[in-house]
Structure 1
Amino acid sequence: MTEPPRNRLRRQPGAPLRRALPLREIAFFVLVAYALAWAVHAPLLLGGTGPDDPAYGLAATVYMFTPAVAAAAVTLFVWRPSGFARALGLAARGSWRRAGGYSLLAFALMPLLGFAAALAAGLVGAVRLDLVDFSGLREVLPDFVPDLAAAMPDSGFPWAAFLAALGVVLVSSVPALVLAFGEELGWRGYLLPRLLPLGVWPALAVSGAVWGLWHAPQLLIQYLHGGFDGAQVALFLVFCVVAGVVIGWFRLASGSVWPAVLAHGANNALNTIGFVTLSAAGSPVDGLLYPGGLGGLVGLGVLGAVAAVLALTGRLRVRDFDRVRTGGGAEEPATA
């Protein structure tokens, strides 16, 4: 009688294999992404350039593609899966209809959460709302649609001008989506699935923390020039972890990186619509409590509530663990 190989797993039929965490791979990815991020900002830090300088905006644009470069490098030269596009979620793991549905949900959810945050901020007294004359909205509409804004009715919600301005904002959000792709190909396309051997919640938390700390060069420049104080820096890092749960859910649930791209891009470009629409003209903002959009403690609370709903409804249980992690490609060696 021969002894079975010791490295073979004993498991119940249908139980997921326990995969080894690819530490060398992940370390390579993080090192490349962070090194490129600091390299892009090094001239600004050495030259004392502040966030108001055009050079900062240019560096920020280049910098947002550093996770994509790191993801491509680790996938091509270290991981080497059987299919590049599927491994990074560029090709949907399931049906394209499913990925498309989650993409539409992701693009709509972040602006809607911005409305929820504005209402919550009004309830706690962080901002003044104007739900009668919509003075804050009327103040900014001429910047987007001057002809229609001039013909706004004296009272009530200015629907025609608002919808025209919304169209302008949606078109102008395309660059934000392109920049979000540069980040999401790294954070949720590559990193999150490769961390899944830790478990779903640890993978979401670690990937969010890595995402947050990658912002260190920008946060340092903001801090040095008075843009952020220490409390705001800490709050931003927590925001990345909590927002990473929501954005990561889109990646895991859809099997595609595109919903995560749309969620991230919509958050960057559209989540202040609610604040602009509902707040009163000249309403004070608080950088820590609620600066607008999904920022501050109020925005963090709204995102935390969404994460709690996902958890309580079982939406964060990945049923197709191996295929999410490997991108649906060839099986990898299992570990006991």
Structure 2
Amino acid sequence: MGQKKTPSLGRVLLWTYGFSFGLFGLYLLLGGRLDSPGFALFALLYMWVPGLVALRFASQEGLRLPLALRPNRYWLFAWLFPVGLTLLSVPLSLPFGRWQGLKGLQEAIPNLQPLPEPLLWSLLLLGLLAGATVNLLAALGEELMWRGYLWEKLKAQGFWPASLEIGLYWGFWHAPLILMGYNYPQHPLLGAGMMTLFSILLTPALLYVREKGGSILGAALLHGTLNAVAGLSVLAVERTNDLLVGVLGLPGLFLLAAFNLYLRRRGF
């Protein structure tokens, strides 16, 4: 039997960006916007394009992507780490925005009846539930590529160089959505750069969980839970500047940089 041909990384990325950006262009041509009823479905499909590309090339190469369902303490870390980021980012955001508690939730859902303040934080429990179920499955589409296939291809470079390269590719993949106004509606252009920085700084935590936890599912759990709870950090604090408030703003970058320094000092 002949050896299976290994495609270049450039070819894999061309497929990933080509299909992802093509899907985005089709969504726009069909009149889709952030506030369109079909945006959630489009976002799910967009997240799974990299995963489908990764599965195709991994199968072609005979490359095994670890998807063992064996929860361990690193999975628990993956589940709770986004909650810690969210809670810690709130006080760090207060120099840049005023505390507004449930007011932000009621503005986001105009017809919502007045609710007690503690309910805002009880939403973290719903976020944990979503992060371990539907959000995990959605995030798995991305993780199959970024912390799955690409990590297998780049890990020989070492943890930190590979994290930087994967984070750059991942950040660039977000660009169409960010330029559309997603996550940083006040600063879509600067937001694309901010999202790339965020992607670079978050990648070591995701790779840490993926390696220590022994499965891409651990990284998907962290990613999915973060997607579920991070929004609370901008509901609780007035979003005067979306680059300076919340998990995706300056506080989140600071906290992730601190965690990466901790990993580095531990010799990871």
TM-score, length basis structure 1: 0.68
* Residues 257 and 127 (structure 1), Cα distance of their counterparts in 2 relative to 1, 3 Å cut: same
Q: Are residues 1:195 and 2:139 paired?
A: no
Helix, strand or coil at the partner of 2:241? coil
Gaps of 5+ in 1: 1-21, 82-86, 130-134, 317-336
1:128 to 90, 98, 115: 98
Q: Pick from 101, 111, 114: which aligns with 2:86?
A: 114
Give yes or no for the alignment of 1:88 onto 2:65.
Answer: yes
Q: 1:38 matched to which residue of 2?
A: 21
Matched with 1:250 is 209
Aligned-pair CA distance for 1:172: 4.2
Partner deviation per Cα, 1:215-262 (whole Å, 9 max, x = no partner): 233234339x96643222111111111111221121122221121101
Q: CA deviation at 1:213?
A: 1.1
Equivalent position to 1:232, from 170, 191, 194: 191
- CA spacing shift, 1:284–1:206, aligned 2, 3 Å: closer
* Residue identity opposite 1:127 in structure 2: G
Residues 28 and 68 of structure 1, relative CA distance in 2, 3 Å threshold = same
Cα RMSD of the aligned pairs, angstroms, is 2.9
Q: Which amino acid aligns with 2:250?
A: L
Q: Letter of the aligned partner of 1:128 in structure 2? A: R
Distance (whole Å) between structure 1 residues aligned to residue 74 and residue 30 of structure 2 = 43
- CA distance in 2: counterparts of 1:25 and 1:261, whole angstroms: 25
Whole-angstrom distance in 2 between the partners of 1:232 and 1:162? 26
Q: The residue matched to 1:218 in structure 2 has which SS? A: helix
Give the alignment partner of residue 180 of structure 1, picking from 139, 151, 157: 139
Shift of residue 104, structure 1, vs aligned partner = 1.2
Question: Contact between 1:207 and 1:244, CA under 8 Å: does it hold in 2?
Answer: yes
Task: Indicate whether 1:103 and 2:80 are aligned.
Answer: no
- Tell me by how many angstroms 1:191 deviates: 0.9
Identity %: 28
The verdict on how the C-alpha distance between 1:172 and 1:258 changes in structure 2, with shifts beyond 3 A counting, is closer
Cα offset for 1:127? Answer: 2.1
Q: Which residue of 2 aligns with 1:53?
A: 36
Whole-Å Cα distance in 2 between the matches of residues 275 and 226 of structure 1?
12
Distance in 2, matches of 1:284 and 1:45, equals 27
CA-to-aligned-CA distance 1:152-189 (integer Å, 9 cap, x gap) = 5xxxx74xx46754444444443222110111111112
| 1:126–1:285 Cα contact (<8 Å) kept | yes
Pairs within 5 Å for 1:1-336? 24-46=7-29, 49-77=32-60, 79-81=61-63, 87-91=64-68, 96=70, 99-122=71-94, 125-129=95-99, 136-137=101-102, 140=105, 152=116, 158=118, 161=119, 165-173=123-131, 174-222=133-181, 228-274=187-233, 276=235, 279=237, 283-290=238-245, 292=246, 294-314=247-267, 316=268
Distance 1:105 1:164, change over 3 A: same
The 3 A distance-change label for structure 1 pair 53 and 89 is: same
Structure 2 counterpart of 1:202, one-letter code: P
Q: Residue 249 of structure 1 aligns to a residue in which SS?
A: helix
Provide the C-alpha distance between the structure 2 equivalents of 1:25 and 1:54, rounded to a whole number of angstroms: 38
Q: Is the 8 A contact 1:50 1:222 kept in 2?
A: no
Q: Which runs of 5+ in 2 are unaligned?
A: none
Kindly indicate whether the alpha-carbon contact (under 8 Å) linking 2:97 and 2:240 is maintained by their aligned counterparts in 1. yes
- For residue 23 of structure 1, report the CA deviation from its aligned partner: 7.3
Q: In the aligned structure 2, how far is the partner of 1:289 from the partner of 1:183? A: 26
Q: Structure 1 residues 284 and 56 mapped into 2: Cα distance closer, same or farther (>3 Å)?
A: closer
Q: 1:48 deviation in Å?
A: 5.9
Q: Is the 8 A contact 2:179 2:189 kept in 1?
A: no
8 Å CA contact 2:185–2:242 kept in 1: the answer is no
